[in-house]
Amino acid sequence: MQCLLFWEKKILQILFNYQNNLTKYQSQFIMKKVLLFTTICFATLVTSAQDLITKVPKDASVVVSLKGKNITDLYSISEFENSKMGEMMMKQLSRKTDGAVTNFETLGINFSENFYYFIQTEDGIMTHSFLVPIKDKRGFFSLLSESEKANAKYEGDLAYIVDKYDNTVTMWNNNTLLITTTDQESSYDDYYGYNDDYYDYGVEESVADAVESYYPIISFYETDYNFGSIKEGDIVEHTFNFTNTGNSPLIISDAKASCGCTVPSFSSDEIASGDTGSISVKFDSSNKTGSQNKTITITANTENGIERLYIKGYISEDGSSSEVVEIVEDVYDDEIEETVIESTESNQDYYKKREEREEKREAERQKFLVTRIDKARKTINGNYANGSILKNPSYVKSIGAGKDEATLWVNDFMGIYQDMFSSILGGGYYGSNPYDMFNLDAVYEGMTITSKLNFEEDKASLKAIYTMNEEMAAYNRQMYNGKMNKNFFKYFNEDEIEGYLSFNASTEGIFKAYPKLVETMFEGVEKEHLEDLVPIGTRLFSLILDEEAIARIVRGDMLLVMSGVETKQVEYTTYEYDDNYESTEVTKTKEETVPNFLFMLTSEEKEIFERLMRIGIKEGGVIFENGIYNVDIPDAPFELSMVFKDDVLIIGNSAKEVMAISNGTNNSKVSGQHKKIISKNYASMYINGKKSVKDIPNDVLPREIESKLNYFSENVEDAYLTVGKMKGNTMEAEMIINKPEDKGHKNSLAYFFNMINALVD
């Protein structure tokens, strides 16, 4: 059990980190490169250019598409230009291009065609590409800076520029603009070991460019450091010194290491241009063995936004090892270089060596770039040996020619998973790649995710469809196909609630499937550590817990209802003063608006519940009155009332409400629509927007938003989120936001923009 819980926790942690890191690294470059991309989804012109989908390769692992025409039909580009968001974007674009861009028309983008973004994973390198339909390349060209214009290369119809910092290739012809870049995280750092060379190069280049750049430049005296041999358990520290060689003040906002064992510390004070600073890095070698490489990622206001430092060392039990010799030699070499630097001959030598190194780096970069540009040419011409994504049956089947405004399709979930994880989290827990230990193939093999965004007349919906392999589907069917108790509907009134959250799992199914699932995950990995441990753990789990007995206590279907607000009298202590200002403590009451909730779950063991309550009464803390149990929970801001009715255990924080249910005097009203949502899905969430906003007392909100609240409560409708039961090998999740009637919103997309307009300053 312990072990299982531990792993479950670990997995959650990994997923959490993954999300965090993904957002951080991915969004940084996506934001930069795709401001354009997001800006341009709204326009009117219609031309008959070829759909760019033919330029997406068959083996793409992620494809995102934005249907230009569908979107602009709903909300025209001129409407967008006149919205606050459009105005803000235009202002920024105009400033960036020194006034060359005055409206969306001048961008030369063909907004009525489809836009695509795709990821290709090859040999561990992830390539991100954006395809933008254009109708006038001069419009796009005017967005470029003078130096970019000067550096553009031409090949007949084709033209391209290469960003020398991140090697992004921007290529265009008469109807297509392609922006393509590789994921630096996985390609350089972990797969090819280019890291030192590449990043050094970046730093030195930027020094040369400092004159024309407004960004601060963090120039380290060294970007990697070798601790040599470290005795296991020792904590070693190194300080990296740097100078801000840029023209503006440098601010370091964060420094993070690839492993919890490495702790960087830095000052967040501003470092003026020309000033020096330092970042010290502490490495704790406890529980580490062998050679260790760690990356420290620094977030600062430099042009790249991110800088990196590298430390390494060799951990041995006694502080010595065969590998040490080599490392010591390395260090020694450096020292010699440093100490004899004054001698002219050696000095020249030193610089010569450095030049040679730089040349080598530049040659490698050029070689790398040639293949990149070649690849971009292939993409823009749609020239693939295996054909385009339209030859991929999985893609065609799941996306098809739907009327959705935007779609996302993720294939080969497995490949992306592994690439992302190993690169982002680096070495850690268990060997160099912590995910080696999971048999992820078994879990994610054959898994695809399709997501569709749809703006309809009366609602906006976002759908996600997971398709999984047979093995996973079998587990999931077992776990998620429970029955919802119809009795739940007797106990609440849908007109009075703010929302609900339902779960419809099968406890019995979970207890049966979970141990098998865990066993599958760890199958065939790192025998000596896990083979014994995991199956014993999982078998114990099944042994200790008799699944059928537990399922009788909690069947797995449950419903939480936010059942309205209630004004309650709350006592508080304050002071009263007599004529002579002698104070006395007095108890007063005030009214407080308290949210009520009802939690219902199916259980067949009324006997067990009542036995527990009897113990509670005996021990104190539980009071039985008027047919319900009132439980005082220490430290909780509310008291709980409970009643067991039929096969439902009802727990609520309003004694009044629970008592009414117990006596059968409560008003219940649940429409067929809500009944269907709750019982037909594995999980569902409903938010009654109007009621929720209305229930918040005015005086608890900050004054600034009070004025906006009115518009909000007038214009907000309700929203649903459902996760369907397994159907065959697929599971479908859907989010629906309804547009309010008679408020003058043309359609659901226009509704979103109108809301933003009203709420943004």
Partner 1 sequence: MFKKYVTYGLLFFTMTLCTSCFEILEEINLNTDGSGTMLVTFNLSKSKTKLASIMLLDSVNGHKVPSKNDISLAIKDAEDHLKKIQGISNIKKTTDYENYIFTIACDFEKVSNLDAVFKDLIQQHNKRENTKFNSTNFTYNKTLNTFQRQFSYDNTIKKSFYKLKSDDRKIFEDASYTSIYRFNDLVKNVSNSNAKISPNKKAVFLKIDAMSLILGEKNIANTIQLSK
Q: Which two tokens stand for residue 75?
A: 């909300």
Specify the residue, 109 or 721, whose C-beta has the smaller distance to partner 1. 721
Q: Which of 56, 425, 473, 565 binds partner 1 (CB under 8 A)?
A: 565
| Contact assessment for residue 567 and residue 592, using Cβ atoms and an 8 Å cutoff | yes
* Part in contact with partner 1 (CB under 8 A); list of ranges 186-194, 221-229, 297-305, 636-644: 636-644
* Neighbouring-strand partners of residue 737: 460, 719
Q: Which of 574, 663, 673, 710 binds partner 1 (CB under 8 A)?
A: 574
| Contact assessment for residue 471 and residue 520, using Cβ atoms and an 8 Å cutoff | yes
Q: Which two tokens stand for residue 312?
A: 């390494």
Q: Which residues contact 518 (CB under 8 A, 6 or more apart)?
A: 4, 7, 534, 537, 538
| Contact assessment for residue 271 and residue 277, using Cβ atoms and an 8 Å cutoff | yes
* Part in contact with partner 1 (CB under 8 A); list of ranges 49-57, 265-273, 363-371, 567-575: 567-575
| 3-state percent breakdown (helix, strand, coil) of the chain, nearest 5 | 40, 30, 30
If binding is defined by CB under 8 A, does position 573 make contact with partner 1? yes
**Per-residue contact string for residues 100-139; x = within reach of partner 1 by CB under 8 A:** ----------------------------------------
Specify the residue, 85 or 683, whose C-beta has the smaller distance to partner 1. 683
* Part in contact with partner 1 (CB under 8 A); list of ranges 17-25, 458-466, 560-568, 714-722: 560-568
Length of the chain: 761
Which of these, 288, 181, 277, lies nearest to 227 by C-alpha position?
Answer: 288
Instruction: Write the secondary structure of 215-226 as one string of H (helix), E (strand) and C (coil).
Output: CCCEEECCCEEE
* Part in contact with partner 1 (CB under 8 A); list of ranges 33-41, 123-131, 249-257, 578-586: 578-586
Beta strands in 232-382 (DSSP E): 235-244, 252-257, 262-265, 276-284, 290-300, 306-316
Q: Hey, CA dihedral for 706, 711, 712, 718, is it positive or negative? A: positive
If binding is defined by CB under 8 A, does position 580 make contact with partner 1? yes
Residue 370 burial (10 A CB sphere; 0-12, 13-18, 19+): exposed
If binding is defined by CB under 8 A, does position 635 make contact with partner 1? yes
- CB 588 → partner 1: shortest distance, Å? 9
**Per-residue contact string for residues 647-686; x = within reach of partner 1 by CB under 8 A:** ----------------------------------------
Calpha distance 742→369 (Å, rounded) = 56
* Part in contact with partner 1 (CB under 8 A); list of ranges 124-132, 204-212, 634-642, 662-670: 634-642
If binding is defined by CB under 8 A, does position 558 make contact with partner 1? yes
Specify the residue, 8 or 333, whose C-beta has the smaller distance to partner 1. 8
Q: Which two tokens stand for residue 407?
A: 């779609």
Calpha distance 533→536 (Å, rounded) = 6
Specify the residue, 194 or 720, whose C-beta has the smaller distance to partner 1. 720
Q: Which residues contact 28 (CB under 8 A, 6 or more apart)?
A: 305, 306
- CB 466 → partner 1: shortest distance, Å? 18
**Per-residue contact string for residues 695-734; x = within reach of partner 1 by CB under 8 A:** xxx-xxxxxxx-----------------------------
If binding is defined by CB under 8 A, does position 638 make contact with partner 1? yes
If binding is defined by CB under 8 A, does position 342 make contact with partner 1? no
Specify the residue, 414 or 693, whose C-beta has the smaller distance to partner 1. 693
* Neighbouring-strand partners of residue 489: none
Specify the residue, 371 or 587, whose C-beta has the smaller distance to partner 1. 587
- CB 579 → partner 1: shortest distance, Å? 5
Calpha distance 678→211 (Å, rounded) = 63
Calpha distance 199→343 (Å, rounded) = 29
Integer angstrom CA distances of residue 56 from 71, 79, 103, 176, 239: 21, 31, 29, 12, 47
If binding is defined by CB under 8 A, does position 575 make contact with partner 1? yes
Tell me how many degrees the CA angle 60-365-200 measures, rounded to the nearest 5: 115
Specify the residue, 325 or 701, whose C-beta has the smaller distance to partner 1. 701
If binding is defined by CB under 8 A, does position 616 make contact with partner 1? no
- CB 13 → partner 1: shortest distance, Å? 13
Calpha distance 433→440 (Å, rounded) = 13
- CB 357 → partner 1: shortest distance, Å? 45
If binding is defined by CB under 8 A, does position 761 make contact with partner 1? no
Q: Under rule CB under 8 A, how many of the chain's residues touch partner 1?
A: 38
* Part in contact with partner 1 (CB under 8 A); list of ranges 318-326, 338-346, 585-593, 619-627: 585-593
Q: Which two tokens stand for residue 401?
A: 């020619």
If binding is defined by CB under 8 A, does position 29 make contact with partner 1? no
Calpha distance 49→110 (Å, rounded) = 9
- CB 585 → partner 1: shortest distance, Å? 9
- CB 557 → partner 1: shortest distance, Å? 12
Q: Which of 353, 590, 676, 727 binds partner 1 (CB under 8 A)?
A: 590
Antiparallel, parallel or unpaired: β 176-182 and 169-172:
antiparallel
Specify the residue, 328 or 701, whose C-beta has the smaller distance to partner 1. 701
Phi-psi region of 598 (alpha: psi -120 to 50; beta: other; left: phi over 0): beta
- CB 462 → partner 1: shortest distance, Å? 20
Q: Tokens 């600073």 belong to which residue?
A: 277
If binding is defined by CB under 8 A, does position 510 make contact with partner 1? no
Map the footprint of partner 1 across residues 592-611, applying CB under 8 A.
592-595, 597, 599
* Part in contact with partner 1 (CB under 8 A); list of ranges 240-248, 273-281, 523-531, 568-576: 568-576
Calpha distance 760→737 (Å, rounded) = 20
3-state secondary structure of 111: coil
Q: Which of 171, 259, 447, 501 binds partner 1 (CB under 8 A)?
A: 501
* Part in contact with partner 1 (CB under 8 A); list of ranges 122-130, 267-275, 589-597, 609-617: 589-597
Number of Cβ within 10 Å of residue 358's Cβ equals 15
* Part in contact with partner 1 (CB under 8 A); list of ranges 126-134, 211-219, 536-544, 693-701: 693-701
Calpha distance 165→32 (Å, rounded) = 13
Number of Cβ within 10 Å of residue 538's Cβ equals 21
Residues that bind partner 1 (CB under 8 A): 501, 503, 558, 560, 562, 565, 570, 572-575, 577, 579-583, 590, 592-595, 597, 599, 635-638, 695-697, 699-705
